[in-house]
Amino acid sequence: MAAVTEQDALEALKRVADPDRGTDIVSLGMVAGLVVKDGNVGFSIEVEPERGAQMEPLRQAAESAVNALPGVLSVTAVLT
């Protein structure tokens, strides 16, 4: 099984777009604190407080995108 890297995770997250801005969340600088260790990936998605509740589908899409990578055992994404 291939080991997933931070770059792999970022490439997957580039396929997730902010629905209001139409640009990927990596280019928008929304991804922070990315950590990859032994197939476990964690990161936060920074959003404005007033957008927090409506961004839950985006958080789930980001988790799913990274989870689909070979070598990923778990993914935890939080909105901050």
Convert 18-32 to b/e letters by CB count within 10 Å (16 or more is b). beeeeebbbeeebbe
pLDDT single digits (tens) 21-48:
999 999 999 999 999 999 999 999 999 9
- pLDDT at position 2, please? 74
Residue 64 pLDDT greater than 80, yes or no:
yes
Distances (CA, A) of 4 to 9, 13, 53, 56, 63: 7, 13, 30, 25, 14
For 6, the 3-state DSSP assignment is helix
pLDDT at 1 over 60: no
The answer to whether the beta carbons of residues 1 and 70 sit under 8 Å apart is yes
12 band by pLDDT with thresholds 50, 70 and 90: very high
